[in-house]
Structure 1
């Protein structure tokens, strides 16, 4: 007995925020510039960061009290989610939002670096370091610290601010979690489990704690911006972090048509894998996922390449074989590298290209800086 037919999944709304600004126009304009619009080389020197453009938060987060209780990464995500709901024409549709399911891809919250620094300084001269540490952890950490670090607070704030009250899920795990968030959301719609999903993520790069974490792994570039795919040859491979957020409203095609919504593009397929990293594995994984996703001759490729030398060189070589002649744009040359947001951001940007008639089919690739690969196919609806 055959199972139910797979439903087509379409994108009806997108919200984008980065150093390029906000919305479709700003980000399509950034595609042609060859470098991110905003670069900060001083705050975290010798590391560069691409800070988010100034936002009028009141436009998507009306209450000042809501703005104050969120950390920057949460404000970015809630803002982009509001843009996506606006784009889909459902911002004021409480019935639609009440049934709208949510999938968020993001990392943890932000450290209180002033408290961390004070504890580490005092620990040096403490006669009993263990007792000192316990006392400081009990007395110096604000009561909301651990609550503020929960990644699913972004989903909670989207529910509070925008009234999205369907079931929610939060995915963590660097770049691959953004791909899996899209894959799970699309699969649930395609199988008939739900009619619509809001999916995306946010990342704040302007944080000393994340700089420390990635520098300890040797992943950061110690220089100003240069094109991502050229970094493997200039001796300064690595990524430049960028603050960004991206959300998409996904719907079953017939459900979108029934409510009179415009399908911006079709999310045709999402394929992901996490093989063990050995020389050549990135190219082999991308080739297999390319076939699984059904990509043939894309008009354009949007790559989440990190700039980390070896894997970026492998990805570049693979794309030359898989998509000969197709222009390849690295997200790092548009918005910087934003880890969990990479998959949703690339998909939203691909949707914008299709919606504006600049492409009929776009392939999005995601290669995690430590593990995980993904290929997403976006096509005209």
Structure 2
């Protein structure tokens, strides 16, 4: 894995919306709040499964045409809104000439299912003596063709292109957390190599979905208990608490940013991705290879922003890996960002990079929220932020974010 770039990659715009608010300023305030700090959690709507719901958003601000909003599912509205925030933050929202050559890479899942149909099919399967034949018949007769059109993952990129006039090249990645990692990795590589001068990259997730909660429950991934910070949750029964979020970044070459007088937020030094079968220790070995490739770029005090899901076995292994890094490889501290914003699958890695850019720019991480001892204090400033993302099922990603000019 080669971390050497032919040119630097700057983060010049961030669009972030979650349960904590919208934009980096609101997230900074929420993450740094002192005394009784707790996330926003909806414990009732999908009981027994808690979720982190999206903050109240006026979608008209970024998607002015109601007709555009009506034909989008919630996850598409969230993503299109966050993309607009990123373009605004980068100062190119109305720059049609730049938007026409801005490349776009989106990480997206499938659209929302017809839960009434799914529930009826599952109920009937329990009563059937021939569930296979019943399933084939019901899938053929009950599902509308338009449902599949609404589920197309690349509709998020399409909506961003229509609403915000981003009309450079476009790519959509699927594959849960790993899709978010590879979207950012590919955008970084394109800018670093000179294939792109400017790129919009990110993803979105709607946690208020019965179909996704069912999917994760069938895999025994969800928490059914009251909210706890992730490392404390892992010491108990574990479990994910999903969170609605949209996260987009504008990545840009220094030359292009300078030509339009942009003020960069941070520098994205490296992005790596890998995957394994998740036998015990394999994810650690994968992450260790990534860290060894990035290590020559690390100097000074470093914060680790972890995307740990809270799912028991894999998050416990990630905790041990991070503990080892802090004990022997890194002078710094760690934060489980999902404790406060929840887990957003395809959007999680872009959200981590966005918050890492904020911390790198500020020179400090947000205060710890953990009683296990892994997250330590913030008295000393930081020089860089290492992002670590292990998917709940597959995929390991890592990135390094530094202040501009360092």
CA drift at 1:35: 6.1
Q: 1:128 to 1:202 in 2, by over 3 A?
A: same
In structure 1, the partner of 2:249 is 248
Distance 2:125 2:401 in 1: 53
- Give, in whole Å, the separation in 1 of the partners of 2:264 and 2:114: 43
Equivalent of 1:352, from 351, 358, 366?
Answer: 358
Residue 205 of structure 1, CA deviation: 0.7
Task: Evaluate the alpha carbon distance shift between residue 89 and residue 136 of structure 1 in structure 2; reply closer, same or farther with a 3 A threshold.
Answer: same
SS at match of 1:164: coil
Match of 1:337 in 2: 343
Shift of 1:138: 5.8
Return 312-321 or 56-65, whichever deviates more. Answer: 312-321
Q: Offset of 1:71 from its aligned partner? A: 0.5
- Per the alignment, residue 51 of structure 1 pairs with 53
Shift of 1:174: 1.3
SS in 2 for 1:334: helix
Deviation of 1:342 after TM superposition, in Å, equals 1.3
Aligned positions of 1:28-107 closer than 5 A: 28-32=28-32, 37-107=39-109
CA distance in 2, matches of 1:35, 1:196: 37
Matches within 5 A, 1:364-379: 364-379=387-402
Distance 2:355 2:131 in 1: 50
Distance 2:383 2:122 in 1: 55
- Mark the CA change 1:119 to 1:215 in structure 2 (over 3 Å): closer, same or farther: closer
Shift of 1:320: 2.1
Question: What's the counterpart of residue 185 of structure 1?
Answer: 187
Q: Distance in 2 between matches of 1:307 and 1:5?
A: 33
Report deviation, 1:231.
1.7
In the TM superposition, what are the counterparts of 1:216-235 in structure 2 within 5 Å? 216-234=218-236
- Structure 1 residue 126 displacement after superposition: 8.9
Which residue of structure 2 aligns with residue 279 of structure 1? 280
State the Cα RMSD in Å.
2.3
Cα distance between partner residues in 2 of 1:296 and 1:342: 26
Decide whether aligned partners of structure 1 residues 352 and 163 sit closer, same or farther in structure 2, where only a CA change above 3 A counts. same
What is the correspondence of 1:167-182 to structure 2 with a 5 Å cutoff? 167-182=169-184
The aligned counterpart of 1:317 is 320
Alpha-carbon distance in structure 1 between the residues aligned to 2:95 and 2:252: 15
Q: Across the two proteins, how many residue pairs are aligned to each other?
A: 377
Name the SS of the counterpart of 2:224 in structure 1: coil
Is the contact between residue 11 and residue 251 of structure 2 (CA under 8 Å) also seen in structure 1? Answer: yes
SS at match of 2:67: helix
> How far, CA to CA, are the matches of 2:172 and 2:258 in structure 1?
28
Is the Cα contact below 8 Å between 1:48 and 1:240 reproduced in 2? Answer: yes
Question: For the residues of structure 1 that align with 2:332 and 2:131, how far apart are their CA atoms?
Answer: 59
Matched, 1:263 2:253: no
1:288 counterpart residue number: 289
Asked if the contact 1:30–1:36 (Cα under 8 Å) also holds between the matched residues in 2, the reply is: no
2:245, 2:388 → 1: CA distance? 18
Once the two structures are superposed, residues 130-168 of structure 1 have per-residue CA deviations (whole angstroms, 9 ceiling, x without a partner) of 898677656653442101111110000000000001111
Distance 2:293 2:136 in 1: 52
Structure 2 equivalent of residue 158 of structure 1: 160
| Aligned-pair CA distance for 1:118 | 3.9
One of 291, 308, 311 as aligned partner of 1:305: 308
SS in 1 for 2:79: helix
Cα deviations across residues 102-123 of structure 1 (Å, max 9, x unaligned)?
Answer: 0001211000112333455567
Structure 1 residues 55-87: Cα deviation after superposition (integer angstroms, max 9, x where no partner): 010000001111111001000000000000000
What is the CA-CA distance between 1:280 and the residue it aligns to? 2.0
* CA distance, structure 2, for counterparts of residue 280 and residue 308 of structure 1: 16
Determine the C-alpha separation between the residues in 2 that align with 1:136 and 1:297: 60
